[in-house]
Structure 1
Amino acid sequence: MDEYEVEPWYREWFNSPFYHKLYCNRNEDEARNFIRKIVEKLNLPDGAEVLDLACGKGRHALTLSENNFNVTGVDLSFESIAEAKKNQKANLHFFVHDMRIPFAKKRFNCVFNLFTSFGYFESPADNLKTLNAVTESLKKNGLFVQDFFNSNKVIRTLVPHEKKPSQGTDFYITRVMRGRYLYKDINLVDDEGRLCHFREIVEAISQEEFKDLYKKAKLGMLEIYGSYDLEPFDIDNSDRLIMVSKKL
């Protein structure tokens, strides 16, 4: 990792209004359909305690709450949690929280970690620290659902340069692999004519590496899917790597 990056990139970027502008077009119907399908597979009991880890503005957490679960959403972004709290209700609550620390021990029937909300940390050891926190948060035989990109396909089909207009802002995006990490540099001009630069850095973790991490965190892999329609995982062609595991 670059030595000059002392302040973690995600603290500034996730709290920026431009982050929400860039990703405003995430497919809500797709998200709801995915939650419906995965919930059917999991067969969680009514009133199950569910944690949405790195919940963003809470779109998945809100859908989960509509399935008669008690849902807690946590995220490092103050701005995202402030927005998510607008939808709080009796069975849906949100908190600012660092995923590397257990939110509550042995409380949850299921933990969700969705939309590649993992692999952000400068130290790879923090990946295992996060998964250990997940295990500590789960009840006996609790389930963990993790949605990550398929690193194999992402690396092979990487788009180096892209201009992406979104909500009146043109985002100029550059992508490059540096060692194990995918660097995504985002440049734009704000409303006052100032040039702004942000960066995303995500570790390209493979399926086999996740299996090794899960074993160390005492999580047993149950199912692996390759899309939000829960199609079988294909290492060459699947867009997603969606893993369902159980606390051992």
Structure 2
Amino acid sequence: MFSIATNGYDKIFQACLDSHQKYADLQNYDYRAFTKSPPSGISGTNSAWLKVAIILRALEKGYQNVFFVDADALIREYTPPIDSVFCQDKFVYMSVESSGNFNSGVIIVVNSPQAIKFFKNLLLRADVPNSLLPKSDRCLYENGHVINLAKNSPIVQIIDPKWNYNYNTNIGEGEKEYISHGRELEAWKQKPHAKKPPLSLFQSLLVRIEQGPRYFLLNRLLKFYEHEYNF
């Protein structure tokens, strides 16, 4: 089980990270909050894509299950264990928003060759601009590619939105969410928000050329975090 809270997010969302640790302790899960930044720094976009690289590496190392939770997600004390959502022949579990699109802020993975292939394919998309995706799939950071890849994948299972309750999801009347994502208002107000307009396809391509392949950068970042956090 892990979260990524770089660039001061660990301070802003400390209460959320504390809830992760409490849940992990209760369920006897191994938990890591990746809060350090490498000497060269790490952008918000690369922090988001890093989750894909970490999930893949954890699967390749033989972890039986991998549970990712965004840093701004608060886990309630009554949340059941992740194996309560498991079903036959499904290996990646996420909830969808009211739009019908997947939200990658909470991802549960069962180790299997199919899951490893899924995240390998996802990581290979790290250098593909969101602008190339269908308009209905476009979303911030890696989430657009998660949506695009997951919506037609037979190994992905939609789970109850209680596992990822945010401002774009609905749960049944009288029901309580398990994970409250981005709804801790006071902390969320401190979160830096992008003020620049989205880049055009041409601009996105120029940025990728200037910065170099993200795929290789993510592998370098992965080595740093493996060494620092021993996972």
Normalising by structure 1, report the TM-score.
0.27
User: Quick check: which has more Rg, 1 or 2?
Assistant: 1
Answer 1 or 2: which has greater strand percent.
1
Normalising by structure 2, report the TM-score.
0.29
